[in-house]
Amino acid sequence: MSESMETVTVSSKYQVVIPERVRQENHIHPGDKMAVIVKHGVVHLVPVLAFGKSKGMLRGLELDLGDLRDHAERT
């Protein structure tokens, strides 16, 4: 996956359209579930994957899970 930035407009119903290139590169389809995570004032949309689809997706990655949660969440 490549890093990129796209600009979208929030509609009067507070909806946004995920740009086509972003949908294609990230295999996002109608009906997919997205988690909305706000961290340090930044809104993240994270695909919610079925357990079977997520199997093996982190293989080969070096992960530092030590700072997974905010300090406030740990206390």
pLDDT tens sequence across 4-30: 788 999 999 999 999 999 999 989 999
* Structure-block tokens of residue 30: 């109608």
Using left for φ > 0, alpha for ψ between -120 and 50, and beta otherwise, residue 65 falls in alpha
Which residue, chain included where needed, has tokens 């389809």? 29
Q: Which tokens is 36 given?
A: 């909305």
* pLDDT one-digit tens code per residue, 27-49: 999 999 999 999 999 999 998 97
Q: Helix (H, G, I), strand (E, B), or coil: what is residue 9?
A: coil
Q: Read off the pTM.
A: 0.59
Q: How many CA atoms lie within 13 A of 7 on its CB side?
A: 0
25 secondary structure, DSSP code: H
